Amino acid sequence: MTDKKADALYGIVTRAQAGIYHVWHDGRLIECSLRKKIKQELTREYKGQKKPIFTDPVAVGDEVMITAAEGGSGAIEAIMPRRSKLFRRAAGPMPLEQVLVANADQLVIVLSTKMPNFKIRLLDRFLIVAEAGKLEPIICINKMDLLGDEEIDNLRQKTQVYENLGYKTIYTSALKKEGLETFADLMKGKLSALAGPSGTGKTTRLNVIQPGLQLRVSEVSIKKQKGKHTTSSVQLHPLDFGGYVVDTPGIRELGLWEVWQEEMELYFPEIRPLIGSCKFSNCSHIHEPECAVKKAVTQGKINEARYKSYVRLRLGTSRNEFEEAEE
């Protein structure tokens, strides 16, 4: 009997959809399925039954070992450990992890000024997901052409907080092709995951910086201020100027996974230095007296809006930032 693992070939998953995986190996794409034994290994007990851990064990960007068969098809024999991941809790009552992109270098968080409206608390969630998944976050605010001068000043006041915290922030207009050179420069030589709500302009920008992609662009409902899903599958695209990008489907809900409420303070860089400075060692920074974090808020050292985001996430009262009105 031959040892399949000994004959296995190294490849990278470029597309994953409905149990079919396109794997790039040595200059060609091989259409692969996943061995049943891997699916069976990635299960756990849930309410007395064996249930899967992931919505899909394989994600775009995964490094895998495959065996090739005649006719150009193959099978995934092993999934290599991930260096990073863009992930969330899948929708539904059963706890499942959904990994959208594996092994990316950075997460480009694409939000728009309007249509759909900019949501600061959604941005905070994305930043937590980036840090939890070991991804460098880049904040990209699109559709700047929709704002007047006063509205731009108000937006800049909100985003300056993030720039002061060290987050890379760029402002673009895909329609007027403004800021796209900076956008492209940040992606050179990197594997970038693009994420954000539908209609924010993720795909439009890719079509501009990478001619020939011709990806379908979503529309935005004027009445509901929401984009419509257009990117239906996750796929890795090479960039002519160097690097790769993964355009993810519009995210309507960003359920946190592997991020515990009791550890929420670790994901706020302005709070982290104050850990251990409160009167109580297990301080939640919400109700307790002599709290160093609350004191920093009253002194203006921590932004009040950011602190409110922390409180909501710490209490678990914010589930869907797309439906929630900004305060």
pLDDT tens digits, 247-291: 888 786 788 888 989 999 999 999 999 999 999 999 999 999 999
Q: Long-range contacts made by residues 223-230, C-beta under 8 angstroms, separation at least 24? A: 225/114, 225/115, 225/116, 225/117, 226/116, 226/197, 226/198, 226/199, 226/322, 227/116, 227/197, 227/198, 227/199, 227/200, 228/198, 228/199, 229/198, 230/198, 230/203
Architecture, CATH, for domain 261-315:
Orthogonal Bundle (1.10)
Write out the two tokens for 228: 């419509």
Position 220 scores a pLDDT of 46
Kindly tell me if the per-residue pLDDT of 107 is higher than 60: yes
Alpha carbon 30 to its chain's center: 27
Q: What is the pLDDT of residues 224-239, one digit of tens each?
A: 444 444 445 788 999 9
Q: What angle do CA 238, 235, 61 make, to 5 degrees?
A: 80
Count of positions (residues) in the chain: 327
User: pLDDT tens, 186-202?
Assistant: 999 999 999 999 888 88
Taking only the tens place, the pLDDT of each residue in 125-146 is 999 999 999 999 999 999 999 9
Residue 321 near residue 121, CB atoms below 8 Å: yes
CA distance 32 to 317: 41
* More confident site: 212 or 259: 259
Sign of CA dihedral 319, 322, 325, 327: positive
User: What percent of the chain is modeled with pLDDT above 90?
Assistant: 63
- In this predicted structure, the answer to whether residue 110 has a pLDDT above a threshold of 60 is yes
The runs of H, that is alpha helices, within the chain are 36-41, 120-132, 149-164, 180-187, 202-209, 292-298, 304-315
Rounded to whole angstroms, how far apart are CA atoms 112 and 124?
15
Architecture of domain 9-81: Beta Barrel (2.40)
User: How crowded is residue 123: how many other Cβ atoms within 10 Å of its Cβ?
Assistant: 22
Q: Is 319 helix (H, G, I), strand (E, B) or coil?
A: coil
Which pLDDT score, from 0 to 100, does residue 316 have? 83
Paired tokens of 72: 């150009």
- Given CATH 3.40.50.300, say whether it is the number of domain 101-247: yes
Is it true that 9-81 and 261-315 share their CATH fold? Answer: no
Using the predicted structure, report yes or no on whether residue 217 has a pLDDT greater than 80.
Answer: no
Entry pTM:
0.87
* Rounded average pLDDT over 163-167: 96
**Which CA distances in Å does 131 have to 105, 167, 267, 300, 319?**
12, 12, 7, 25, 19
Q: Higher model confidence: residue 275 or residue 51?
A: 275
Mean pLDDT of 172-176: 86
Domain range annotation of the chain = 9-81, 101-247, 261-315
pLDDT given for residue 90 in this prediction: 87
Task: Report the share of the chain in percent with pLDDT over 70.
Answer: 88
The pLDDT of residue 226:
45
- Mean pLDDT estimate for the chain: 87
* Interatomic CA distance for residues 125 and 268, integer angstroms: 11
The confidence band for 244, taking pLDDT boundaries of 50, 70 and 90, is: very high
Q: Cβ atoms within 10 A of the Cβ of 317, count?
A: 9
Q: Considering only residues 203 and 133, tell me which one the structure prediction assigns the higher pLDDT.
A: 133
Would the pLDDT of 153 be above 90?
yes
Mean of the pLDDT values across residues 294-309?
96
* CA max distance for the chain: 73
